[in-house]
Amino acid sequence: MRTRLSPAKRKEQLLDLGVRLLSTRSFQEISVDLLADEAGISRGLLYHYFGGLVQFQEAVIRRAAEDLMERTDLPEIADPIERLGAAIAAYVDFVDHNLAGYLSLVRGAKSGNAVMSEIYDSARAALTDRILAAAPDLIPDTAPHRLLVRGWQAMAEELVIVWKTEPTEMTRAELLSLLVSALPALIGIS
């Protein structure tokens, strides 16, 4: 049975559905037919709101990136290393619960799709800014430190993806400890 919603609410419903589907599927697996069936709408309605499947997929990836940013916001903890640890734990949990969608974001950025790359790069830049702002006394906002933080982010992303997708005996706690200790080590903080 189809429910009549305002245009704004229907668009939000479709984006929410896309993000939910993205937690178990890649964005390439999200078809117009699947969306129409899941949302109880006609296929044409998706085109009406987003212009097409590619635009919808990009909007969903953008929403997923925003969700990642929200969930990994640095908490109000005085100690910068503890604050980093809380944010890393939230990041690991996000990837753990949204693996397919997260992989879509990462792969989309590497696919040559300019919009996907822009979404990914914006999220990474915002995370870099957030990390540097969290501990300005420990990690001054300089070009070399920005480069180190970006390199650490790439390493953290790879480690979390491998931890999640390949058999390993490393526990979540061990992974978190490794990630949290790696950034201060790179920066030269003891």
Q: Are residues 175 and 97 in the same domain?
A: yes
Q: What is the CATH number of the domain that holds 42?
A: 1.10.10.60
- How far is residue 67's CA from residue 78's CA, in Å, rounded to a whole number? 24
Q: Are residues 36 and 90 in the same domain?
A: no
- How far is residue 101's CA from residue 18's CA, in Å, rounded to a whole number? 10
Domain encompassing residue 11? 7-58
Residues ≥6 apart with Cβ < 8 Å to 91:
68, 71, 72, 156, 160
Number of domains within the chain: 2
Task: Tell me if residue 23 falls in helix, strand or coil.
Answer: coil
Q: What is the CA radius of gyration of the chain?
A: 19
* pLDDT tens over the chain, length 190 residues: 556 778 888 888 888 888 888 777 777 788 888 888 888 888 888 888 888 888 888 888 888 888 888 888 877 888 888 888 888 898 999 899 888 878 878 887 777 778 888 998 999 999 888 888 877 777 888 999 999 999 999 999 999 999 999 878 899 999 999 999 998 888 887 5
